[in-house]
């Protein structure tokens, strides 16, 4: 469900000159997912390295430009 929401966001906002914005949004979403997964216990049970391994198994959609408004 997260991938569907991310893909919709990227398709709507993925226009020329907005690449920094959608890449920053993708990073903030990944950070929030890590934060939510770390709520399982009182210590940080998942590091960025562990999250990267998890993301290899369940990849998130990459941000990209879908519409070129100049061409």
Q: What is the mean pLDDT of residues 48-58?
A: 94
Give the SS3 label for residue 17: coil
41: pLDDT strictly greater than 80: no
What pTM was estimated for this model as a whole?
0.83
Domain that holds residue 10: 1-57
Within-domain flag for 40:
yes
Within-domain flag for 15:
yes
Per the structure, the count of domains in the chain is 1
22: pLDDT strictly greater than 80: yes
- Four-residue CA torsion sign, 23, 28, 34, 40: negative
Question: How far is residue 62's CA from residue 16's CA, in Å, rounded to a whole number?
Answer: 16
60: pLDDT strictly greater than 90: yes
């Amino acid at each position: 469900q997260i991938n569907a929401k991310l893909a919709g966001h990227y398709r709507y906002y993925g226009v020329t000159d907005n690449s920094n914005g959608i890449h920053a949004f993708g990073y903030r979403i990944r950070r929030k997912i890590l934060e939510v997964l770390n709520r399982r216990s009182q210590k940080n049970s998942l590091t960025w390295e562990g999250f990267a391994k998890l993301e290899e198994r369940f990849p998130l959609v990459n941000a990209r430009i879908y519409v070129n408004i100049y061409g």
